[in-house]
Structure 1
Amino acid sequence: MVNVYDQANALESALRESEEFQQMQELYSKVNEDPESKKMFDEFRDIQMTLQQKQMQGEELLEEEIQQAQTSAQEIENDENIKGLMEAEQKMSQLIQDLNRVIMKPIEELYQINNQ
């Protein structure tokens, strides 16, 4: 019998060795090595986390918070280090979505068979 957790650990190792992850790691290092990029990136992430927490708690976002998030997002788009990292994150996110579709396929097929 196949141990699903062993397979998941193998997948984790494969993700760590993937080109997508390696690129993210390299670009994240570039962001952290540049003091201006790091400061901007940390501020952007803090703003994002604060807004997500407020939304999850059902709190209304203030106009100034939304404006601050938009300003921060515009600033990071002008930073080549962060821009590269964000592009790499999108590629990694796409890879994970693709993997999720593969993982969920047996369950989707099961429900399709039972709904016919």
Structure 2
Amino acid sequence: MAVNIYDDINKLESTFRNTEEFTKLQAAVEAVTADAEANDLFKGFRDLQMTLQQKQAQGEEITEEEMMSAQATAQAAQGNPKILAMLEAEMGLSQIIDEVNRVLIKPVQSLYESM
């Protein structure tokens, strides 16, 4: 009998959307989006992070000036109460995702542990 794991994954996704952690993040994202200053600040922070990650992935060196700019941008973003609340909500949601990953990987780990 074939198992369709995707039915379970879709059900989990629906459950995930109804968690308190997801709801908090959703509200925090809406608060940042509704505040033009916070939204622009966060977009600048996210864009700079992505640019630096791309440089690293391509083996390019990140200059000291870029690092200082990234730190200043991160401090400004985290200094905004709405962005900070959003980042904290994201961390709470990440804990659930990490736990799901741990549970899903258990069968694979047990296979190797039996060797």
Structure 2 residue aligned with 1:111: 112
Unaligned runs of 5+ in 2: none
Query: In the aligned structure 1, how far is the partner of 2:114 from the partner of 2:59?
Result: 38
Q: Secondary structure at 2:61's aligned position in 1?
A: coil
The normalised TM-score by structure 1 is 0.94
User: Cα RMSD between the aligned structures?
Assistant: 0.9
Instruction: Map Cα deviations across residues 65-99 of structure 1 (whole Å, 9 max, x no partner).
Output: 11111001111121100000000111111111111
How far did 1:27 drift?
Answer: 0.3
- Moved beyond 2 Å, runs of 4+: none
Question: Alignment length, in residue pairs?
Answer: 114
How far did 1:36 drift?
Answer: 0.7
Query: In the aligned structure 1, how far is the partner of 2:57 from the partner of 2:95?
Result: 24
Instruction: Map Cα deviations across residues 15-52 of structure 1 (whole Å, 9 max, x no partner).
Output: 11111111111000000101110010000000001011
Structure 2 residue aligned with 1:47: 48
Structure 1 residue aligned with 2:69: 68
Query: In the aligned structure 2, how far is the partner of 1:36 from the partner of 1:88?
Result: 20
Identity among equivalent positions (%) equals 47
Query: In the aligned structure 1, how far is the partner of 2:97 from the partner of 2:71?
Result: 27
The normalised TM-score by structure 2 is 0.95
